[in-house]
Chain A
Amino acid sequence: MNKLENIPVQAKSDKKRTNPLARVFDELIQFCQSRSMFMLHYCTGCGAIELPPAMTSRFDMERLGIQPMVTPRQADILLVTGYVSVKTLKRVLLTYEQMQSPKYVIGICSCTVNGGMYWQSYATAKVLNEYMPVDVYIAGCMPRPEAVIAGLRRLMSNIENGKGDAWKDYYKRYDYYLGNQQHLFGDDWQTPVDVIGEAKFYGLEGEETYGEHTKILEQHQEPLEAQVMRVKL
């Protein structure tokens, strides 16, 4: 299986939803989703120090159904805790693109909102939602565990009310996000994830998915190939 074409992928069916109970089930699914979330905390800055008390017995995030998870591929929430340097931003984006939909991003601390105390640093990216869609920002330097929990509750209520769909924005307006990324990383920036292909798969490609920046990407993009597994002895 060295070629991508050989890997079976089932695309989304075009069948229309005819079941009258579909919306009821949607609400049930949203409720269940909001009560069972796995969180990947990308501890970029000092804000991460407030997470251990928020997760463990004192404030106990687990009573809300939120648990830490070790890998992006099995996580729902990406917590970016603190300043994001340009170098880190690359890694955050790689992490974000690996996560499965539906995925949510929470920016903790003032640094992710507007640069925070590092606003005049040449090395930090200032506004996180220029590079990836952010669901909830928790401001503060640093926010207390109560604030973290309040932010997570807001995310939960957003999901329950069907408003937690910022991840769709990444596919719908990929050109905008890619443009901001290229502005920092240069024109030859590409990730191993085929975002446009995923947008097609989810049926989320829109007019703003394509644009001048995706054209630049196409020029520089090396074709994605499945990795060959080798055992070195």
Chain B
Amino acid sequence: MNCDEINIWLDTLLEEINEIKVTRKSERRVRVDVDASSLPALLELLKGKASYVHLSAISCVDWPDDEEFELVYHCWSYEAKSLLSAHTRIPRNTCEEFAHYVSIYDIYKPAGFFERDIYEMYGIYFESSPFMEKFILTEWNGPPPMRKDFDAEAYVNETFNWAEYNPDWLQEITEEGGGIEIRPEDVRL
């Protein structure tokens, strides 16, 4: 079976799913916009019937104005040699504190890793995902830091102190001919 045949088959297959919008961007890139309820079914079909066996990443986009998170599942097919990105949108804040979605760990095993990362950075809880404990930010107790409404600069100014710009030892260095070349107040932005 060659690539073209798989692509034709894929297009027919995708038409069977509800509320789906397929954009074929080029020969090797397909963008699929799908409703959140039918995304696991789509991935199941893609993996089982259309040779998209490799989930290379799950990425997350925060849309605070729309009150939505966008989840993008990037799937590779080695036979069709193409990348399919399945986009779906979930509500940003449901009745609980965190947004939640269903895990696809039973379809793609690597998803557990990505879901754990997204839970930490965006606070989207993936139901039935096996690893939901802290991952990289083990010292972090604040809100999920990659959300757009988290103001990192305000947090930094509140938490950390800044170095002095005219300490005594700098004057010693300046007398020896060193020191600051351009002072921060002279910098024009």
Residues of A within 8 A of B (CB): 86-87, 90, 113-115, 119-123, 125-127, 130, 183-186
Contacts and interface: CB of A to CB of B under 8 A. Distances in A.
User: 9 closest Cβ contacts across the A-B interface?
Assistant: A114-B163, A126-B160, A120-B153, A122-B152, A86-B139, A127-B163, A87-B139, A122-B155, A122-B145
Contacts of A123: 137, 140, 145
Contacts of A120: 152-153, 156
Interface in B132-147: 136-142, 145
B145 A127 contact: no
Most buried by A among B139, B153, B155, B160: B160
Nearest to A119: B156
Interface string B105-145: 00000000000000000000000000000001111111001
Interface string B156-189: 1001111100000000000000000000000000
Most buried by B among A119, A122, A125, A186: A122
**Main SS of chain B's interface residues?**
loop
A186 B159 CA distance: 13
A193 B120 CA distance: 31
Contacts of A113: 163
Contacts of B141: 186
Contact of B163 (A86, A126, A185): A126
A127 B161 contact: yes
Given A86-B139, A87-B138, A121 B161 contact: no
Contacts of A183: 159
Contact of B161 (A86, A87, A130): A130
A123 B156 CA distance: 9
A184 B139 CA distance: 8
7 contacts: A87-B138, A87-B139, A121-B156, A123-B137, A126-B161, A127-B161, A183-B159
B142 A122 contact: yes
Contacts of A130: 161
Nearest to A128: B163
Contacts of B150: 122
Nearest to B180: A139
A137 B95 CA distance: 50
A114 B165 CA distance: 10
Most buried by B among A121, A185, A186: A121
Contact of B160 (A87, A90, A125, A185): A125
A126 B161 CA distance: 7
A88 to B, nearest CB: 10
Contacts of A87: 136-139
Given A122-B155, A122-B159, 17 more contacts: A86-B139, A87-B138, A87-B139, A115-B160, A115-B162, A119-B156, A120-B153, A122-B140, A122-B142, A122-B152, A123-B145, A125-B160, A126-B160, A127-B162, A127-B163, A130-B161, A183-B159
B12 to A, nearest CB: 47
A123 B144 CA distance: 12
Contacts of B137: 87, 123
Nearest to A189: B139
